[in-house]
């Protein structure tokens, strides 16, 4: 008879049902911390209002290609709000909610997607990484930061995210291996929004979960309802505390849904059924948290109206700041590439300035 060498399981966590009710009897303290839940709800609404405005700016030629975060708000706010200022965040390209809670300004995000490298010199922690469009390379950046913290003996944690499609990239798997081999203070979040641009989760990988990819590296790995901000925040806090206290890395698969196109250069109606999207809207995170607060008597229509007006005002102010900055100088297309320009690019820079004159 063969002996079992190893076995594993992946636990799934959800504390808030799609209709906004607490489920089970083991909800974390956050479920009754209504001050913090209202803060998270406000940030989620601000983020969605910003997202809608950014798409409108792109459609009217005032912004470049933009990656929407519609439907991801709970995941992103859970990540950002669970981190300390001294921790390091290595994002992909749509984690605006996480960045907003860490001090990045809305106008910084608009500057970046407007093609202005000044947007990458954003407000907030200077040790956070900028947006990363190459798929999954940010996971290795985070692993490197985590290794530095360990070598220096600093109680800091690196956090990174990757999509369901990006979790198939070697960079992500190599980051898992490094985190395991070096016992790194790292949290790797798979934001499983069901679609890698036009490729559905069902065609990407036939494993029952994506979280189990961490098991191959010997990392504790769980799956969480990413539309449940209570569960998502709890999972992040647990993983970050484990990493900070020397317990090593964790992989968390957050299950959510990309309610938008992949970017404004995409048209998801060409490959996605409307019935699927309609069903996903019934699971979305903002409505879920709002229903919970309403049922608990911790929210009302007056507060909702005030919040909507507040969010619109904040976003409009950010747009004005972005538009007032003006176009970046021509030479900036060269100046942010190297510490010292190679001779051929230096010559191009001079020629471009001469032609501008």
Catalytic residues: 258, 262, 271
Return left, alpha or beta for 124; rule: phi > 0 is left, psi -120 to 50 is alpha, else beta: left
Residue 238 CA to residue 185 CA, distance in Å, equals: 12
Question: What are the φ and ψ backbone dihedral angles of 272, each rounded to 5 degrees?
Answer: -130, 130
Element (H or E) spanning 190, and its range? strand 186-192
| Count of beta carbons in the 10 Å neighbourhood of residue 349 | 17
Give the bridge partners for 192, in sequence order.
255
Taken in order 176, 179, 180, 185, is the CA torsion positive or negative? negative
Q: Which residues contact 247 (CB under 8 A, 6 or more apart)?
A: none
Residue given tokens 């940030």 in the structure block: 43
Q: Are strands 199-200 and 195-196 parallel, antiparallel or unpaired?
A: antiparallel
């Amino acid at each position: 008879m063969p002996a079992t060498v190893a076995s594993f399981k992946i636990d799934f966590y959800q504390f808030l049902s799609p209709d906004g009710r607490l489920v089970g009897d083991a909800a974390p303290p956050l479920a009754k911390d209504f001050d913090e839940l209202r803060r998270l709800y406000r940030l989620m609404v601000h983020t969605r209002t910003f997202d809608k405005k950014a798409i409108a700016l792109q459609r009217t030629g005032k912004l470049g290609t933009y990656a929407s975060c519609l439907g991801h708000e709970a995941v992103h706010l859970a990540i950002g709000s669970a981190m300390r200022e001294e921790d390091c965040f290595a994002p992909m390209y749509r984690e605006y909610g996480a960045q907003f809670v860490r001090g990045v300004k809305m106008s910084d995000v608009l500057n970046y997607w407007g093609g202005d490298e000044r947007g990458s010199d954003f407000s907030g922690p200077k040790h956070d990484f900028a947006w990363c469009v190459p798929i999954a390379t940010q996971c290795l950046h985070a692993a490197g930061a985590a290794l530095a913290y360990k070598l220096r003996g600093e109680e800091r944690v690196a956090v990174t995210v990757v999509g369901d499609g990006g979790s198939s990239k070697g960079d992500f798997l190599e980051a898992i291996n490094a985190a395991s081999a070096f016992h790194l203070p790292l949290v790797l979040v798979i934001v499983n929004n069901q679609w890698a641009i036009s490729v559905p989760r069902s065609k990407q990988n036939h494993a029952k979960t994506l979280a189990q990819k961490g098991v191959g590296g010997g990392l504790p790995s769980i799956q969480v309802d990413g539309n449940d901000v209570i569960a998502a925040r709890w999972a992040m806090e647990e993983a970050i505390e484990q990493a900070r206290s020397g317990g090593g890395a964790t992989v968390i698969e957050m299950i959510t849904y990309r309610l938008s196109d992949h970017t404004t250069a995409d048209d998801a109606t060409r490959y996605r059924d409307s019935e699927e999207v309609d069903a996903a809207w019934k699971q979305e995170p903002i409505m879920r948290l709002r229903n919970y607060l309403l049922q608990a008597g911790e929210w009302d229509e007056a507060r909702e109206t005030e919040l909507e007006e507040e969010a619109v005002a904040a976003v409009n102010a950010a747009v004005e700041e972005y538009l007032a900055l003006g176009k970046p100088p021509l030479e900036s297309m060269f100046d942010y590439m190297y510490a010292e320009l190679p001779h051929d690019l230096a010559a191009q820079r001079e020629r471009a300035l001469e032609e501008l004159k």
